[in-house]
A and B are shown apart, each in its own frame.
Chain A
């Protein structure tokens, strides 16, 4: 079973994403911001991270840059899931090491598509 970490300051979004991912047979952990996500990653690096952009404490982009410098931090696939839909932001996220980018609103179909894009197809 793959371990997923959902990082979002909205409990509702975390719950929706968790439901979709559990339905796709992922084990899911949650974090409400970048600081909490870093703690989770230091303890047990997940296989994939679904990452919001705007969060208190440490935003998604800052977290991603930190993550890629952590031991084993290059391993997880990172998918941004955010309302930020400006092309410059998207480019910035990919250049910082994100593997994919989902613009909210999203659904299970889009998550499946993006997982397939990064080589993690789900049946």
Chain B
């Protein structure tokens, strides 16, 4: 990246360390030392646009606390997740085949489910869930299923709402029959059809903020988000989520994430890897299993 070429290696390392310290202090974000490549690819556009003289100057500007909008933009750029449809497959299979059938049995009277994607990014995760619901719709007449997608990045959410994806993006995780059934082709891009897009509502939200407006949920997807927080912030986020979770609800974490060492009432689901449930619900499930 040309914006960084003028800086020596030692200077780049110093700037990166200063950025990491800043992000941790201001947003609770943990940026691992091996993520320097992300800084270059994600902050170069901002540095170029603002005509800033390299990363070291950007960090100096941030530390002056005089540019809140720029600061927010840097935080957003550093937290945009890599995402694709049905990422890792297993959590979506678990949702479709195990968690949803149980919740559908438990909610037979209310006929209502609420699902929250806590890091919706550009929409692939909530829309993957919407596609599962679309496929199950004929077995759920009269049901209302709300899918809420939240994210820290307004730019990502704007893309999510549009539901417009490149050829490369739709080929990651979607089958060709799904592409034909649920997308319209617009030149070289692919847009999710209105009936799928309308299943998801998006809201701009910081997970360190207040969840009061969101309501309660039966399922929460919080995958590959906690990795950005330190242990105290992870516990804080999980405890706030737990307060919005139904007694028999489930929280999905990323493949490499766990609650080991965290102060939380959530425990791993006795049967399904990567799924958390309340302590009390886990006991019920274990008794049923026995």
Q: List the interface of chain A (C-beta within 8 A of B).
A: 85-87, 90-91, 94, 98, 100-103, 105-106, 109-110, 113-114, 116-117
Contacts and interface: CB of A to CB of B under 8 A. Distances in A.
A91 B173 CA distance: 18
23 contacts: A85-B167, A86-B185, A87-B180, A87-B185, A90-B176, A91-B180, A94-B177, A94-B180, A98-B176, A100-B176, A101-B176, A102-B171, A103-B167, A103-B171, A106-B171, A109-B172, A110-B168, A110-B172, A113-B171, A113-B173, A114-B171, A116-B89, A117-B176
A117 B176 CA distance: 9
Contact of B176 (A94, A106, A109, A116): A94
A107 to B, nearest CB: 9
B179 interface: yes
Contacts of B175: 100, 117
Interface residues on B, range: 10 to 19
Interface in B183-204: 185, 188
A82 to B, nearest CB: 12
Contact of B188 (A85, A90, A100, A106): A85
A101 B179 CA distance: 10
B171 A110 contact: yes
B263 to A, nearest CB: 36
Contacts of B176: 90, 94, 98, 100-101, 117
A106 B175 CA distance: 15
Given A87-B185, A102-B171, A110-B172, 10 more contacts: A85-B167, A86-B185, A90-B180, A91-B180, A94-B176, A98-B176, A100-B175, A110-B168, A110-B171, A113-B172
Contacts of B179: 90
A85 B172 CA distance: 15
A61 to B, nearest CB: 15
A91 to B, nearest CB: 6
A115 B188 CA distance: 24
B55 to A, nearest CB: 30
B35 to A, nearest CB: 20
Nearest to A102: B171
Interface in B236-259: none
Across the A-B interface, the 3 shortest Cβ-Cβ residue pairs: A101-B176, A87-B185, A117-B175
Contacts of B168: 105, 110
Nearest to A104: B167
Nearest to A106: B171
Nearest to A101: B176
A20 to B, nearest CB: 14
Nearest to B180: A91
B133 to A, nearest CB: 20
A29 B177 CA distance: 27
A110 B188 CA distance: 18
Contacts of B167: 85, 103
Contacts of B89: 116
A86 B188 CA distance: 9
